[in-house]
Amino acid sequence: MELVEFKVKFQESIARNESIVFFCSCEIAYSGRAEAFLARGDRIIVVKADNTLLIHQPEGGNPINYMRPGSKIELQQLDSHLLLKAQNLDSKDYIDMQIFRVYSFMSHKLEDGIKQELAGNEKDMSDMIKDHPEIISPEFKPLSREEHTKFGFIDVFGHDKKGNIVIVECKRYTASLQCVTQLRRYVEKISELKGLPLERVKGIMASPSISTNALDMLKKWGFEWKQVNPPKRLERYNRDQKTLSVF
């Protein structure tokens, strides 16, 4: 496609507030939170109606360059090619994209606004533990599942039969050193706030697995690990895949 034709189409689509996608050969410079340069190659460019800019290489899941929603995007004619400039005043960064060839162009006014429903995240896992505390221990009595309180962002908070405070930190994946230090921080904070000795505040890590180093550190600090699988994992995949293979 001729660059002149592309430029006209691009400007028209922008004026109509459409979403735009095109394939091109380009070279990209980014400056802002970091500095980046990407030499010439073929890429997929997306300009959304909210002025998000995405630059994808033909392989890989993540954009190689991007500008966040609300960027100022404009196309300039240079001597032999085009310059697409995107600038974000909030994040104080910008992209300069030299466009040498455009292979295809597409634009359309898109109507959406639907929000996705999601299940199986960490919140669901802590809900499950709150509703079925025997997963953790027959002695565990949860009091609350509150994340943003004066005590901090604790997943499940409760006590045992001996009157100790119990703090449960849930992770949907293998618990790491970082996860254990997070639990430690909560235990120390509660101990301080309640004026209780550390021995009276029990920390429990609930996760499907835990790294060796993390388990060592956990034990060293007197915490426990309880193997808990996040809800709806794998079982549903296997069930559904059986159904699908009948297709």
Partner DNA sequence: ATATAGATCTCGTCA
Partner DNA sequence: TGACGAGGTCTATAT
229: tokens are: 């699988």
CA–CA dist 139, 166 (Å, integer): 10
Question: Count residues contacting DNA (CB under 7 A)?
Answer: 47
Sheet holding 141-144, edge to edge: 141-144, 156-159, 165-170, 201-207, 224-227
SS3 60: coil
Distance of CA 51 to the CA centre of its chain: 21
Q: Which stretch binds DNA (CB under 7 A): 134-142, 191-199, 211-219, 221-229?
A: 211-219
Handedness of CA 186, 190, 193, 195 (dihedral sign): negative
Judged by CB under 8 A, the chain residues 22 through 51 that form the site for its own copies are 23, 31-44, 46, 48-50
Q: Indicate the helix (H) or strand (E) that contains 206.
A: strand 201-207
Q: Which stretch binds DNA (CB under 7 A): 77-85, 129-137, 171-179, 234-242?
A: 171-179
135: tokens are: 């997963």
**Chain contacts with DNA (rule: CB under 7 A):** 30, 32-34, 36, 55, 60-69, 88, 91, 93, 95, 116, 118, 120-123, 147-149, 152-153, 155, 169, 171-174, 176-178, 182, 185, 209, 211-214
**Chain contacts with its own copies (rule: CB under 8 A):** 19, 21, 23, 31-44, 46, 48-50, 52, 54, 56-61, 64-66, 68-69, 92-94, 103-108, 110-114, 116-121, 172, 177-178, 181-182, 184-185, 232-234, 236-237, 240-241
